[in-house]
Amino acid sequence: MMNRTASKVFRFPALKDAWLCHHKSVAAMSSATEGLPEMPPCDFKPSAHKGLDYDAAINIRKKNLNPALFTFYRKPVYIHQGHMQYLWDTNGRRYIDLFAGIVTVSVGHCHPTVGRAAEEQMKKLWHTTNIYLHPKIHEYADKLVSKLPGNLKVVYVTNSGSEANDLAILMARLHTGVFECVSLRNCYHGASPYLMGLTALSTWRYNSPTGFGFHHSMNPDPYRGPWGGKHCRDSPAQPGRHCDCAEGECHAKDMYVDQLEDVLRYSMPKGKVAAFIAEAIQGVGGAVQLPDGFLKKAYEKVRARGGLCISDEVQTGFGRLGSHYWGFESQGVVPDIVTMAKGMGNGYPMGAVVTTPEIAATLGNALHFNTFGGNPVACAVGSAVLDVIDEEKTQALCADVGTYFIQALDSLRSEFEVVGDVRGKGLMIGVELVKDKVSRDPLPADEVASIWEDTKEMGVLIGKGGLFGNCLRIKPPMCLTKADVDYSMAVIRKALQNHSQRL
């Protein structure tokens, strides 16, 4: 029988459509979540959505937005509001966000401290370029470099990670006087025309001349690469492959460093190289974690040939790995240039390059300018993010909750044949799905999609990555709780059970 509220709503066609949409969503949610525990409680109450409805948004996206903008899920989620680790759609349904706007929301959606900092600055000064002095960029630069080791003391604030990596490569080429650069296969460092050649994932490459001056060394992947096994990663979860290395001694890194040495020996002009760039854990590549000690030996090889070492911390920085503030620290190295973005602004668009005074001086040979880099509001936001990470002990939380999550996910390998590998540190986690553990062949895209769609229907949003799109990327806001992990684990297990029943 129709309830009293519904009977009133049906007098008004627009309200009727909204009511039906909401109750269909609730019904679908109830069906999908049957047998699951309750999602952890949340006191925050989102406001009612009053903007474009779902169909209007889809129509505008098709007609007026860049067709290269892809969306997740068969029926994309229409996000209306966020609070800490949670998101709400326009129908008021709550989701646990395990992807953080592509590893971008660090301390939490709409964190009140960060929001207040932005609001206060906007009331004073929205924008002035760096041809004038303003307090915030200077305050932020001083605070940021205090988080970095060695002589990494000079900051260039940019608008994004791609822009930061672009600038870092330019600086390395100018400083060394060498054009050729090296990165790792399976890496993603941006999609600008300049960086598309640096990126070595074919899914992100257009058929255009973008690779001039860039070379790619074999990816040191302990799970999918030719070498590596159960003693090769600094992670609570190790590959299931046999490994001849003694515990605490990874010899696979030496073979991968030999491959890098080959590239340097054969492909560089007179053996010289401008730069080597890498992430400690590859983000878009599917959370592939480099073997212990690889970067230390790789940096030695590059520096012996006059090159600079660049650490891309766009996804791994700001305490996300738990054990260290920066990803490169987990490998025991100090780079010459560090790039960062994403979590740096908790979703506010900003990035940075940090380097030594000697390397920074190179850009003084000509004019260099960035209209929006170092914007007063961006710097106020970035400064507040650093404060929150310290005050709320976010790094320690990543270590605790992240280890708990990784160990729980690792238990799925013994339950499900399709769970091939679990890897990562802190809240930078990957789960690789395969046809079977022996072949390690990637799980077909349609089967990955069915698992992924099920998790969404049960209220958990997860990313995807890797060359074959078969890696679940779990990189949530760093305020995630163990209760959120428990619910998410129940959802992931149920999605995997559903997949097994469909076979």
Residues 327 and 462 in one domain: no
Torsion of CA 316, 339, 179, 365, to 10 degrees: -170
Residues 496 and 385 in one domain: no
> How many alpha carbons fall within 13 Å on the CB side of residue 33?
19
- Domain for residue 33, yes or no? no
Rounded Cα distance, 490 and 480, in Å: 16
- Domain for residue 35, yes or no? no
Residue 180: DSSP 8-state: -
- 16 or 145, which is more confident? 145
Residues 338 and 425 in one domain: no
Last residue of a domain, one of 391, 422, 446: 391
Rounded Cα distance, 348 and 330, in Å: 26
- Domain for residue 191, yes or no? yes
Last residue of a domain, one of 391, 411, 432: 391
- Domain for residue 260, yes or no? yes
- Residue 432 sits in a domain whose CATH number is 3.90.1150.10
- Three-state SS for 408-477 is HHHHHHHCCCCEEEEEEECCEEEEEEECCCCCCCECCHHHHHHHHHHHHHCCEECEEECCCCCEEEECCC
Residues 235 and 266 in one domain: yes
- Residue 210 sits in a domain whose CATH number is 3.40.640.10
- Domain for residue 28, yes or no? no
Residues 105 and 117 in one domain: no
**The pair of three-digit structure tokens given for residue 478, joined into one six-digit string:** 């760093």
Residue 314 neighbours by CB distance under 10 Å? 27
Residues 105 and 179 in one domain: no
Residues 383 and 294 in one domain: yes
Mean pLDDT of 367-379: 92
- Domain for residue 32, yes or no? no
pLDDT tops 60 at residue 367: yes
- Summarize pLDDT for 257-297 with one digit per residue, the tens: 999 999 999 999 998 999 999 999 999 999 999 999 999 99
User: For residue 177, what are the domain limits?
Assistant: 113-391
Residue 65 CB contacts under 8 Å (≥ 6 apart), including other chains? none
For the chain, what is the domain count? 2
Residues 346 and 413 in one domain: no
Residues 13 and 47 in one domain: yes
- Domain for residue 227, yes or no? yes
Residues 366 and 444 in one domain: no
Rounded Cα distance, 98 and 477, in Å: 7
Last residue of a domain, one of 367, 391, 415: 391
- Domain for residue 31, yes or no? no
- Summarize pLDDT for 446-500 with one digit per residue, the tens: 999 999 999 999 999 999 999 999 999 999 999 999 999 999 999 999 999 999 9
Residues 369 and 248 in one domain: yes
Q: pTM for this one?
A: 0.92
Residues 357 and 208 in one domain: yes
- Give me the pLDDT at residue 32, please: 67
